[in-house]
Amino acid sequence: MNKIIYCLLVISFLTNCTNIEKKYFNQSQKIEINCSPKVLSFLDHFCQTEIADSITRIYYIKYDTLYISDNLSDSIIAISLDKTNDYTHYQLQKNKLLLLDGENVRVDIYEIDFLKNKSEFLRTVELAGLYNAKNSALLYAQANALFFRDTILYLKFGKFYEPANFTGKKVFYKINIFSSHPQLIDSFFQYPSSITEKEVREKTTFLGASKNDSLFYCGFASSDEIQLMNMHSGKMIRKKYAQYANFKKYDDDKRTDLGYIRYYDLTNERNIYETFYKGKFIIIKKLKTEKLNQSPAYDLYILDENLRLLSLTSLNFQPGKNIFPYKSGIVVSDTTGKLNYYEI
């Protein structure tokens, strides 16, 4: 009799654990930002951002021109570039602009003079000779494929013959891009087992650093694991931040079934944005749905640098093209272009 009661209690406990209700707390209040038509037209492009002191520098490249708006100002700067190319990724840091030509496996480097609104082409770095092209490939088609800080460029390479989901053993590879003889000098961060063992499909990653570059982080679109690397001690911490993750298990046997792939990608849970700003992690998660025509919900997570959850906010709209840090919080556009500000 006691065994029966014990079994019933265990079943009841497990049932309650699997039906944990998500609790939103310390929710950030949404404030709509009113911008001029000129700025809204500017933000109709997919923009990048760079935080320079107290300035949020918002920019994009179209054809051979770099367009910049500082702090959503109407004074939009247009700086001509010497080369026209179909760049797959680019990043501006301080006065250096790096542009990745993924198809031709090379990086163009510019120096930007913000006082004169001019650019100077410095050099092209051919990447093909820096790695073994027989068994590796530059993963330039993925989002966030390029990241650089100071003199170091961080890129992702996949291994042709790795059984671990074409990932290789490390996520990012470091290249001393401004050296007279650039070369691969190190690799760091590791894919979670859910990615290497093909339990999930997407391998998109997020890479960032603290303001003084002492702390680097790596996040994943298809995993709630965040990895923190202390660049002075080399110590790495791996931790999952969400208690309510609900990623769908991927069936690799159906990888040629386009209907299955479409359903899986459109209905699966996904981290769509991760960054580190003002000592806090900001993460936006698209939640799982069951039907293709079902509108997904989105959550905004704010964590401290020890990955403790500070607030969890439910967004009542679908994020649009642009999400970026701004002042004391984050701006999230919706699909109509309206800008919504959340203080962190």
Q: Give the per-residue pLDDT at 4.
A: 52
Q: Residue 242: which residues within 8 A CB-CB, separation 6 or more? A: 224, 285, 301
Phi, psi for residue 55 in degrees, rounded to 5: -100, 130
- pLDDT of the residue at 115: 92
What is the identity of the amino acid at 293? Answer: N
Amino acid at 161: Y
Q: Hey, what CATH class is 29-47+103-108+123-343 in?
A: mainly beta
Radius of gyration of the chain (CA): 22
Contacts of 273 (CB under 8 A, 6+ apart): 206, 282, 283, 284, 319, 323
Cα distances from 333 to residues 24, 224, 238, 286, 320, in angstroms, run 21, 23, 31, 15, 5
pLDDT value of residue 322: 93
CA dihedral sign, ordered 20, 289, 341, 79 = positive
Share of the chain above pLDDT 90, in %: 48
CA distance 177 to 184: 9
Segment 305-313 shows an average pLDDT of 91
The CA distance from 159 to 197, in Å, is 14
Q: Give the tokens for residue 160.
A: 């042709």
Asked if pLDDT for residue 98 goes beyond 80, the answer is yes
pLDDT score of 21: 58
In tens, the pLDDT along 183-242 reads 888 888 888 888 878 888 888 889 988 877 788 999 999 999 999 988 888 888 888 888
pLDDT of residue 156: 83
Strands 236-240 and 106-113: unpaired
Q: What are phi and psi of 191, to 5 degrees?
A: -70, 140
Quick one: the chain helix, strand, coil %, rounded to 5? 10, 45, 45
Hey, where are the domains in the chain? 29-47+103-108+123-343
Q: What is the mean pLDDT of the chain?
A: 85
Give the model's confidence band at 166: pLDDT under 50 very low, under 70 low, under 90 confident, else very high: low
User: Residue 165 above 70 pLDDT?
Assistant: no
What is the rounded distance in angstroms from the CA atom of residue 308 to the CA atom of residue 319?
A: 24
Write down how long the chain is: 344
Lookup: tokens for 124? 């092209």
Instruction: Please compute the mean of the pLDDT values over residues 289-310 and round it to a whole number.
Output: 92
Query: Which residue would you say has higher pLDDT here, 69 or 22?
Result: 69
pLDDT in tens, 5-62: 444 444 443 344 444 456 788 888 899 999 899 999 999 998 999 887 778 999 999 8
What is the rounded average pLDDT of the residues 117-146?
82
CA distance to 194, 246, 257, per residue, from 254 (Å): 17, 20, 5
Q: Do residues 342 and 326 make contact, with C-beta atoms less than 8 angstroms apart?
A: no
25-28 CB contacts, 8 Å cutoff, 24+ apart: 25/311, 25/312, 26/302, 26/310, 26/311, 26/312, 27/311, 27/312, 27/313, 27/314, 28/300, 28/302, 28/311, 28/313, 28/329, 28/342, 28/343, 28/344
Whether 2 shows a pLDDT value over 80: the answer reads no
φ and ψ of 267, to 5 deg: -105, -10
How distant, in Å, are the alpha carbons of 202, 246, 274 from that of 197?
12, 17, 23
Query: Does the predicted model carry a pTM greater than 0.85?
Result: yes
Coil, helix or strand for 299? strand
Contact 147, 91 (CB under 8 A): yes
pLDDT of residue 164: 52
Question: What is the identity of the amino acid at 72?
Answer: L
